[in-house]
Amino acid sequence: MQLIKKSRLLTFVLLLPLGLQTGPAFSQASGPVSIGGTVRTNVTINISAINGTNNSDIFLTAVPLGGKRIRVELKGTGPATAEKAARMTVQLRSNAAYRMNAALLESTGYIDSASIGLGNLTASGQRTSPTAVTNSRIPAAFDAKNQFSAENTSILTQPQMILSGPRISMGGGPLASTNALNVDLTFAVTAKAGQPWSIYLELSVAPALE
């Protein structure tokens, strides 16, 4: 039994250097070695807060969809004048230049107009790029006047860009508390007095070049 053990041990010792010699000899490379790769662009949108619902004539609900979209529902009963606006805050994160879009999906009731206002862009923490606040732009107001032609309408308008800017996040994940751009949104609706109505719209984000 002792002879067998020695034979196996001897075989292992002899094969080990052979195996090392047949492997890749990275230490013998004479030229420079470089490793290439790309980082996938990523942009997300999340709900931070729905503000002042008790002070608004509009009932607002929002549902996040996969980190890229937020489905917003607005409901109310139109007074004789424009209803008090509803407000919410979203947080945007990106490792590249971004754009934020809005699309009007569907409406019910007698609505004259609807609009989205943006403002009060602030950084959530030290990992938010300073240029995300100073260099983001609102290219055009989202105003849906004269798009409500019937009591019940499936609108499905093309997305309209309502905000764009440079890279936002300098590090951290999609839910980190210190790497986001806070954006306040205001939803205003004018509808027929005393008539219930609803509007469904969608907010979405994407890399600026897509």
Please name the helix (run of DSSP H) or strand (run of DSSP E) that holds residue 2, with its range, or none: helix 2-22
Look at residue 8 and tell me if it is in a domain.
Answer: no
pLDDT score of 6: 41
58-80 tens-digit pLDDT: 889 999 999 999 999 999 887 76
Look at residue 30 and tell me if it is in a domain.
Answer: no
Look at residue 33 and tell me if it is in a domain.
Answer: no
Look at residue 7 and tell me if it is in a domain.
Answer: no
- What is the spatial distance between Cα 67 and Cα 20, in angstroms, rounded to a whole number? 48
156-175 tens-digit pLDDT: 677 889 999 999 999 988 88
- What is the spatial distance between Cα 111 and Cα 190, in angstroms, rounded to a whole number? 6
Domain count, the chain: 1
Look at residue 114 and tell me if it is in a domain.
Answer: yes
Look at residue 51 and tell me if it is in a domain.
Answer: yes
Structural domain boundaries enclosing 138: 43-207
